[in-house]
Amino acid sequence: MEYRIEHDSMGEVKVPADRLWGAQTQRSHENFPIGVGIETMPAEIVRAFGILKKAAARANNILVGGRMTDEKLNAISAACDEVIDGTLIEEFPLVVWQTGSGTQSNMNANEVIANRANQIAGKKLCHPNDDINMSQSSNDTFPTAMHIAAVCALEDRLLPAVETLIETFRRIEKENPEIVKSGRTHLQDATPIRFCQEVSGWRSSLEKDAELIRLAAGPLHELALGGTAVGTGLNAPAGFDRQVAMEVAGITGKEFVTAGNKFHGLTSKDELTFAHGAIKATACDMMKIANDVRWLASGPRLGLGEITIPANEPGSSIMPGKVNPTQCEQVTMVAVQIMGNDVAVGMAASQGNFELNVFMPVLIYNFLQSARLLSESILAFNDNCASGIKVNEEKMRHNLHNSLMLVTALNPYIGYENAAKVAHKAFDENTSLREACTALGFLTEEEFDKVFHPEQMV
């Protein structure tokens, strides 16, 4: 491999000749050989850096045009566009397990954008620190990149996925308006419920989750950019924080604003912790829904069997014809991962000292993994399972009329204690509620038939 010599404040460094990164990126690449190629800084953060560096260049051009000339702005903007669209993703090799401030990833962005801008300009025009990092610090750029990436993950990926599954459940409700089945509580028979009512519970849970995600995304629109090293805004021109937030909003089409208190913006990660709670809440509901679906589809002959789900792949290497609820299983595994990530996010948010949180890379790594996994999991579950749910109306009817908890309908006529006697007698003797009730003399057959209508108990 051929190398070129780069230098930074600590001296000279050999850098692969075909790479755009510079000395500080190379030092980090060599000093942190932890999860290389596997746990690299998320692509969403790299894209966010492209957005904020382009926005910063625009703001500097407006506020300090003598230093950020139009020529520099044009070259930097073009380079940033290649970062944003993923063209330069291989130039960002650094791992999550680096400095807790994300400084090396900020310098990675500075070096790559500067060197690419110089290629575009055809001359040595831009310096990583003086131009790409102008009016900034790693301490305000990395928190800003975290918020940009988080908002995009929630609004552009997770919410659309949730809405897709909501619409699928709404369709299933409309297709099955009158089917009545046995309800279940504590995994035991309960009073009747319409299948569409059961599905409406799933849908409503996801609608509430979507509300929570939108609510949680709100505070993430505040950006720390402009606070520089410790929140005071040292070396940033007056108005830079407001202008750069406006530029980020213009690039993304999202309503980003400058944070009211930059000291908070650098030190506290409460907004991300709160937002991850909304992700976790959605994962919890998805686990419940997936478990309901696989219970209802259990069988095909010896389980509940009240619905069927698509048979996507063989379920066993030894049992021919076996089909398993694999989409339900992936959902529940993803939910478990997200619950674990929530612990990491909370722990990371509680750490750091004085003017800076220094657990930011691991926090955003887990946050973005949760958002990505849940988005992809929901879409896979929707496309390969929920969309193909079919009702086994015959089995639902059989289970309904075989349920002892239909005895609840007799409470107003024979009282709770007598109704309990009917249920126990029917269970012990394996007879119907009608037979047990008339045998105990609580109602005649005619009286029983007059008041006992399971389909009207919903």
**Catalytic residue, candidates 9, 29, 137, 186:** 186
What's the average pLDDT block by block, 10 residues per block, for the chain (458 residues)? 92 96 96 96 98 98 98 98 98 98 98 98 98 98 98 98 98 97 96 98 98 98 98 98 98 98 98 98 98 96 95 90 95 98 98 95 98 98 98 96 94 96 96 95 95 90
Collapsing DSSP to helix, strand or coil, 145 comes out as helix
Distance from chain centroid for Cα 198 = 25
pLDDT of residue 352: 84
> How far is it, in rounded angstroms, from Cα 220 to Cα 138?
18
Please confirm, yes or no, whether 29 is among the known catalytic residues.
Answer: no
pTM of the model: 0.96
- Whether 147 is a known active-site residue: answer no
In sequence order, the 6+-apart residues with CB closer than 8 A to the CB of 405 are 182, 183, 188, 189, 190, 191, 423
Please tell me the distance from the alpha carbon of residue 268 to that of residue 219, in angstroms, as a whole number.
12
Whether the Cβ atoms of residue 257 and residue 173 lie closer than 8 Å to each other? no
Asked if residues 203 and 173 have their Cβ atoms less than 8 Å apart, the reply is yes
Are 227 and 265 spatial neighbours (Cβ–Cβ below 8 Å)? Answer: yes
E strand or H helix that includes residue 104: helix 103-121
Side-chain-side CA neighbours of residue 47 (13 Å): 17
Burial readout 73-90 (b: 16 or more C-beta within 10 A, e: otherwise): bbbbbbbbebbbeeebee
State the DSSP code for 1. Answer: -
> What CA–CA distances, in Å, run from 98 to 27, 40, 315, 416?
11, 10, 42, 66
- Residue 197's identity, in one-letter code, is Q
Q: How much is the pLDDT for 58? A: 98
In the prediction, which pLDDT does 393 show? Answer: 97
Domains of the chain: residue spans and CATH: 3-134 (1.10.275.10), 151-394 (1.20.200.10), 403-456 (1.10.40.30)
Residues in the chain: 458
* Widest CA span in the chain: 101
Q: Which position among 105, 200, 276, 316 bears the catalytic label?
A: 316
DSSP 99: -
What's the confidence (pLDDT) of residue 67?
98
Mapped onto helix, strand or coil, the DSSP state of residue 389 is coil
| DSSP codes, 245-269 | HHHHHHHHTS--EE-S-HHHHHH--
In contact, 17 and 2? CB cutoff 8 Å: yes
Q: Which pLDDT belongs to residue 1?
A: 87
Beta-strand ranges (E) seen in 392-434 are: none
Q: What does 174-231 look like in DSSP terms, one character per residue?
A: HH-SS-EEEEEETTEEEEEEEHHHHHHHHHHHHHHHHHHHHHHHGGGGEE-TT-TTTS
Peptide bond into 300 cis (omega under 30): yes
Rg (CA), the chain: 30
Distance CA 402, CA 411 (A): 18
